[in-house]
Amino acid sequence: MSHKFRLRLKQGELLIAPMVTLSCPETAEILSEVGYDWLFLDAEHSTYSAADLQAIIGRVGHKLPCLVRLAAPDEVQIKKALDIGADGIIAPQVNSPELAEKIVSWSRYSPVGTRGVGLGRAHGYGFSFDDYLASANENTTVVVQAEHIDAVNSIEQIVEVPGVDAVLIGPYDLSASLKRIGEIDHPEVTGAIQHVTDVCKNSNIPLGIFGVTVDAVKPYIDKGFTLITAGVDTVMLGQAARRMLGQLK
């Protein structure tokens, strides 16, 4: 990893990515030429296997940073994502400081963490093992998602966990946890988001958000959010095709 993504995040740089869900590496390769700052590889809601992720990162990881949203916030998922060369992980459904502590620990090698030691693509299959170990703890980005009311209620403690580099808000799952699924503009949902925003800003923790459209994410950029995921590969493909067909008929 040589992109210094974690440093750029901590310095407050605006970092914009699309969400990539299609398993063909060509999709990520096309998006890597657009000018994005990073790619959000979604292993939670896609059909990605570890082999799919490795093929994608192997194709585009030298061009721009790739962060993997885990299928689940557990140790094995973290080991697999990092061993194949991801620049960092995005852990879903982190609803307590105890889980945040585990996620950070699983993402860092000893003596500061408990990440398992293996020989994978990230380590040059063994040829660059020492070099990777020397820099991995410093360069690996750990993002936790606040996407449940339990996370909102525990956010003061979550942001105090050493090694949490950013908090990414999931507005849709958050709305569902409030029994207002999809109502992301409802005052209960926006109020919860504002609470997370205030706490993270007070603790100098970078904030992230996901939105399908420019209009969905632009207000958050204006509020100082810097880790931005805008659009989904499948939606962008479908909308572009529909727009062209509409212009022809």
130-133: long-range contacts, CB 8 A cutoff, minimum separation 24: 133/109
Amino acid sitting at position 78: I
CB 190 within 8 A of CB 230: no
Residue 229: beta bridge partners? Answer: 17, 210
Cα 30 from Cα 59, distance rounded (Å)? 11
- Rounded distance between C-alpha atoms, residue 44 and residue 137, angstroms: 24
Q: Is 101 exposed, middle or buried (0-12, 13-18, 19+ CB in 10 A)?
A: middle
CB within 8 A of 118, min separation 6: which ones?
Answer: 79, 83
Counting Cα atoms < 13 Å in the Cβ hemisphere of 209 gives 25
Among all residues, which ones are annotated catalytic? 45
Find, among 106, 102, 124, the residue nearest to 114 by Cα: 106
Amino acid type, 240: A
Q: Cβ(37)–Cβ(64) under 8 Å? A: yes
Q: Identify how many contiguous H helices and E strands the chain contains and give both numbers.
A: 12, 8
Distance CA 55, CA 61 (A): 10
